[in-house]
Structure 1
């Protein structure tokens, strides 16, 4: 019988052993998803699955048991990267002005979109099979942008009239223009320009009418 990875043979305590198995399985999955995101961003959706497993420190059998197909792995990596991007916003806002938090998050967004574009061939079939996945992802990202803009309106660093959908669309445009690694300096310059337009500025003083 195949030994379950991460569980000692003969481990005592059924419930404790079960919790250990779940913890180990979760750790292996996290490692696989992190390795997959790196590989897809670097090599595209055709990245070698064996190399992903090696990078994660697990056997190829572990990868296939959790993700029976390349499409399942791409989908899981996409969902995981989306969740990480969305979860990062509260930490960025902790003790940081909202305009700087939004700029940092925008940089992470460019990296997220670059990875998405790199695995586009396989991801398109995944999104076609799950028509709601694209919409759910956009809704989640829009909610994060809205929260960052609202924080900026409260602390006075961002203008209060910016529309989250417009901002997300503008960020998507930056990634289309300069989203790959070679274009990252251009992407950073464009993000700085975008953020400068979103910042709250006192009205310029008009010259006196004579």
Structure 2
């Protein structure tokens, strides 16, 4: 890619990242082109489909999550590694409203531009889960697909205005349900009956 073309590509990607963070996965491609000060045809020349654009946006983050999983496998206790990675994965999905549905669909669609990245990151999480299970730190009846589904569910919960303030507590409940012998945030799961809002 020529230097000027690369500069245009990087600029489009930076603008798209900002717009998708604001508007979610259904962000207007026309708005992205307008903010980048290019024609819609230029945007489509670089990214022929919405999925191609989202894949380019997400690839770096997904690659970082995969690398982080590999690092955690060797640097942290199995249960700590799994929870740390799970927390990062949920935080990532919450950065891009609506992306979890696309990622879940991409797992089952080899033709999707997001398929390879989603399969790779799910495999990374599965390795951390399997390591924790082998150490007796995680329940054995959860698999990598279910772990990925829990990430999607936690991201969705965090996106709901009425539930967003409960997101950290709900994360702790889910983490304690996956791991064996782990209390939810020092027993915070035992909430007072009046705290139901």
TM-score, normalised with respect to structure 1: 0.58
Question: How do residues 49-64 of structure 1 correspond to structure 2 at under 5 angstroms?
Answer: 49=33, 51=35, 53=36, 60=38, 64=43
Say yes or no: does 1:73 pair with 2:53.
yes
How many aligned positions are there? Answer: 170
Residue number among 185, 190, 193 corresponding to 2:173 in the alignment: 193
Match of 1:96 in 2: 76
Unaligned runs of 5+ in 1: 7-24, 54-58, 203-210
- SS of the aligned residue for 1:48 comes to helix
Say yes or no: does 1:114 pair with 2:94.
yes
Match of 1:48 in 2: 32
Bigger helix fraction: 1
Instruction: Kindly state the Cα deviation for residue 148 of structure 1 after the two structures are TM-superposed.
Output: 0.7
Say yes or no: does 1:36 pair with 2:35.
no
TM-score, normalised with respect to structure 2: 0.61
**What is the distance in 1 between the residues matched to 2:144 and 2:124?**
9
Residue number among 142, 154, 162 corresponding to 1:162 in the alignment: 142
**What is the distance in 2 between the residues matched to 1:135 and 1:156?**
31
**What is the distance in 2 between the residues matched to 1:167 and 1:155?**
17
What's the Cα RMSD here? 4.1
Say yes or no: does 1:132 pair with 2:116.
no
The structure with the largest alpha-carbon Rg is 1
Relative distance call for 1:141 and 1:5 in structure 2 (3 A) is: closer
Match of 1:177 in 2: 157
Instruction: Kindly state the Cα deviation for residue 86 of structure 1 after the two structures are TM-superposed.
Output: 2.5
Given that 2:100 and 2:155 are in contact with CA atoms closer than 8 Å, whether structure 1 keeps it comes out as no
Match of 1:5 in 2: 4
Given that 1:103 and 1:191 are in contact with CA atoms closer than 8 Å, whether structure 2 keeps it comes out as no
Relative distance call for 1:36 and 1:86 in structure 2 (3 A) is: farther
Given that 1:37 and 1:115 are in contact with CA atoms closer than 8 Å, whether structure 2 keeps it comes out as no
**What is the distance in 2 between the residues matched to 1:105 and 1:42?**
25
The worse-fitting range, judged by mean Cα deviation, of 89-98 and 64-73 is 64-73
**What is the distance in 2 between the residues matched to 1:78 and 1:189?**
27
Deviation track 1:74-93 (CA, whole Å, cap 9, x = no partner) reads 34214443333333212334
**What is the distance in 1 between the residues matched to 2:75 and 2:100?**
36
